A and B are shown apart, each in its own frame.
Chain A
């Protein structure tokens, strides 16, 4: 396995995450897309840690990214829940009170 194979997988992950983010109208769907992007970055880091002089820095970086992603997901879900309490939906397009 070469570095290119890992990067290809991560690029596919990234592209699907980006597509998911762009097309989904459901707030949780968008957040799933974000998770995919963060994980593709993690994969990148691990691959670079193995194949370039990045070394252990990359693995430590990946660990931090996992923690941050968890924290961000927790906050995002709480906000989505609060949005549901106010709007009775989690459709992003339905929030249009601020557009004038």
Chain B
């Protein structure tokens, strides 16, 4: 393809319209520039930078919310933008609203907590908004290039945020550990991504799965096949990179140290927004790469591996959280445990029979945006996958409110007592009942006790896990581990309940006094209400997240013909040595002839 053609193609694809659709991201970029210029022009003496950042992010959130509701009511199909780089469906729009809502709450929280002072606040908000731009791109990535790019866009500002308290030894140590482990895992991930690109001969996530299947099935899916070994290596490397971001067990060691050393505000960012977007990216990656046919047994094995890692992560997180006295460290281990729970839907999606790989080929039509995904074949099968994604989305929305509840209470208490250990929470109920109640509500949700959102989220997760167990019995074991861990986590958080409600304050400790009608109280109450209401009124958010989940399987507007024909073609010729891509790719790999 010539450069001229490329350029003409780029313009013909409706770049102008694509830019409008990407307005929330662009508005965030504009906010970054505005916050930087604001201090340069010395305007921050009159209007604080936080106000400008809030304004920009609220406008962006409004735009994203409007796009989401328009997409739901007008049943807009998924769209591929920027020559296949971005897939904008309701899944992406939903997570966009989620991330921007988090950003608004986070900026308000930083103004209450006062961690970036007047002098440093432009830097802080620049990094925060920059990281969120990366996270937004992660949720809509549709090409392996963008997967890596967006991951790095969100990680690099994260390293800076971890080391934001420059003069503190703990903070700089946390940042160094974060940046070293982070860049190492990013390197691994990149190497894995390049191997996948080479094997499949494309980076387009809608094609990778079927191309991989075509390449592997030439020599059969056994370990004697070098292509399969390469694929396995690449997948392990990619998983290592993603597991680092999610803090899953073999790659979790950075998490407690970084949470401990960095400010609590940064911990909130890492445990909420970063996790949510990484999960979304993992959903897209798994759905893009999972393949049936010859590779079905291989992927079933991988799915079971993911399930085992999830079980280990949950158990480890809860056991390690048990002995902690620092709340930030405790929350780090709690984040690890919840990352384990959230890995379960990904494991369910990695089962080819559930991910709808074969069903799409056999029925071709995936009814968009209705609750019954596949009318004819495999109704039960694919609706399990949809329910898994739905429960994941519900879970991360609940996580947003409950983790923010804990972190905001922690920040408010820290500002009064200058400490972040459990002892600083002793006697909180007698001093400021509002904080104690909000905190215990969030903790109850973290455990998964009935009237809170955490209970519903776990219930939805377990029900999709139970259905997946019908396919792979190992998932029943994961289910049992998950349920037992609820009891374990109860023991972990019991200490905090006791400290807040039954213990007397430490003698000589400064009392926690927060005015009942201050901004701080209002913020904590605002964050706590959804924790409760999501546990009582399930239908609203559940319908929204189901709509978002279903759209992952939507055929896209301009590429629908290509995608469906690709899959069905492979289905007709299981050998696939005759299919065109199979030939060109394998020829490239084995003989090295120039295309």
Binding site for B on A (CB under 8 A): 2-4, 14, 17, 21, 27, 30-31, 33-34, 37-38, 40-41, 44-45, 47-48, 50-58, 60-61, 64-65, 68, 71-72, 75-76, 78-80, 82-83, 85-87, 92, 95, 97-99
Q: What separation, in Å, do the CA atoms of A71 and B130 have in the docked complex?
A: 13
Q: Determine which of A48, A78, A87 lies in contact with B169 in the assembled complex, contact meaning CB atoms within 8 Å.
A: A87
Asked whether A79 and B197 contact (CB < 8 A) given A53-B584, A53-B585, A68-B149, the answer is no
Q: B166 an interface residue at 8 Å Cβ cutoff?
A: yes
Q: Determine which of B183, B193, B581 lies in contact with A34 in the assembled complex, contact meaning CB atoms within 8 Å.
A: B183
Q: What separation, in Å, do the CA atoms of A17 and B183 have in the docked complex?
A: 12
Nearest-neighbor residue (CB-CB) of B260 within chain A: A98
- From residue A37, how far is it (CB to closest CB) to chain B in Å? 4
- From residue A13, how far is it (CB to closest CB) to chain B in Å? 10
11 sample A-B contacts, Cβ–Cβ < 8 Å, listed by A number: A44-B198, A45-B197, A56-B1, A64-B149, A79-B176, A82-B163, A86-B167, A92-B176, A97-B169, A98-B177, A99-B257
Interface string of B177-192 (1 = CB under 8 A from A): 1011001101110110
Q: What are the residues of chain A within 8 A of B168 when measuring CB–CB?
A: 86
Q: Is the CB of B203 within 8 A of A61?
A: yes
Q: B195 an interface residue at 8 Å Cβ cutoff?
A: yes
Asked whether A52 and B595 contact (CB < 8 A) given A41-B187, A57-B203, the answer is yes
Q: B529 an interface residue at 8 Å Cβ cutoff?
A: no
Q: Determine which of A21, A27, A65 lies in contact with B176 in the assembled complex, contact meaning CB atoms within 8 Å.
A: A27
Q: B13 an interface residue at 8 Å Cβ cutoff?
A: no
Q: Is the CB of B175 within 8 A of A44?
A: no
Number of B residues whose C-beta is below 8 Å from A? 52
Q: Is the CB of A54 within 8 A of B180?
A: no
Q: What separation, in Å, do the CA atoms of A30 and B178 have in the docked complex?
A: 13
Binding site for A on B (CB under 8 A): 1, 6, 144-145, 148-149, 152, 156, 159-160, 163, 166-170, 172-177, 179-180, 183-184, 186-188, 190-191, 193-195, 197-198, 201-203, 256-257, 260-261, 581, 584-585, 588-589, 592-595
- From residue B294, how far is it (CB to closest CB) to chain A in Å? 20
Q: What are the residues of chain B within 8 A of A97 when measuring CB–CB?
A: 169-170, 173, 261
Q: Is the CB of A55 within 8 A of B595?
A: yes
Q: What are the residues of chain B within 8 A of A83 when measuring CB–CB?
A: 172-173, 175-176
Q: What are the residues of chain B within 8 A of A75 when measuring CB–CB?
A: 156, 159-160, 179
Q: Is the CB of A82 within 8 A of B159?
A: no
Q: What are the residues of chain A within 8 A of B203 when measuring CB–CB?
A: 54, 57, 61
Q: What are the residues of chain A within 8 A of B170 when measuring CB–CB?
A: 97-98
Q: What are the residues of chain B within 8 A of A27 when measuring CB–CB?
A: 176, 180
Q: What are the residues of chain A within 8 A of B198 when measuring CB–CB?
A: 44, 47-48, 52, 54
Q: What are the residues of chain A within 8 A of B594 when measuring CB–CB?
A: 50-51
- From residue A5, how far is it (CB to closest CB) to chain B in Å? 9
Q: Is the CB of B159 within 8 A of A80?
A: no
Q: What separation, in Å, do the CA atoms of A40 and B194 have in the docked complex?
A: 10
Q: What separation, in Å, do the CA atoms of A15 and B528 have in the docked complex?
A: 49
- From residue A99, how far is it (CB to closest CB) to chain B in Å? 8
